[in-house]
Amino acid sequence: MNPAFIYRHTMTSEVLVVDMQGAKDLEAARPYWKLLHSINSVEVLNYIIGLTPRQRNRYINSLTKNP
């Protein structure tokens, strides 16, 4: 498994995708960064490759919006 974590900055809305170490660093700055999703990066990339551009954009938007 290749975990990746998607975070959004609470004030700037910047989105970051980080590995395990990056997630630990962002958890230390918890008030500013909100965890949106944890994903298996290889499976997600494999899934995205098979989508049309419209489906791909929809899927990426669903991962980066607040749950």
Per-residue pLDDT of the chain (67 residues; tens, 9 = 90+): 799 999 999 999 999 999 999 999 999 888 899 999 999 999 999 999 999 999 999 999 999 887 6
Q: Cα separation of 8 and 27, whole Å? A: 12
Residue-level pLDDT at 67: 64
Q: Cα separation of 56 and 2, whole Å? A: 20
- Long-range CB pairs of 54-57 (<8 Å, 24+ gap) are none
CB 48 within 8 A of CB 17: no
Token couple for 1: 């498994």
Angle at 49 between CA 60 and CA 16, to 5 degrees: 35
